[in-house]
Amino acid sequence: MTVAAYVLTSVIAIGISYIGIGYVRSPEKSAATFGLTVLPTGSTSFFQIKGVRDISSGLVLGAAMLAAGPHAVGWIVLAASFTAFGDMLIILRHRGKRPMAFGVHGATGAVMVVSALMLLLR
């Protein structure tokens, strides 16, 4: 079960880092896939900040898996799931694309919670 949890966490860490790189390299293109129907215009710096946040999140998860035990990694993954659920709630609050809110952000948060529980309850 621990191996499966580490695989799930690795996929999330790599995935969010990849998404973050997209926001840094092509902020407007990436922002269109976030799920909001109205996006800030005139400056790409906001989206690049989000990209750096996403890269950092992936690196923190990766570092935790390398440096900490499964129990600590479980708590870190559980805490990090707040970002995915927060993004989902922001999209819903601003009447964004519900499939993106639930299907991407909510599903990511749910996978993170499952992975965290697998590590915490092993």
43-52 residue pLDDT tens: 778 889 989 9
Give the per-residue pLDDT at 118.
94
The whole model's pTM is what? 0.87
DSSP letters along the chain, please? -HHHHHHHHHHHHHHHHHHHHHHHHSHHHHHTTSS-SS---S-SHHHHHHHHHHHHHHHHHHHHHHHS-HHHHHHHHHHHHHHHHHHHHHHHHTT--HHHIIIIIIHHHHHHHHHHHHHHT-
Percent of the chain with pLDDT over 70: 100
- Give the pLDDT band of residue 38 (cuts 50, 70, 90): confident
Give the per-residue pLDDT at 46.
83
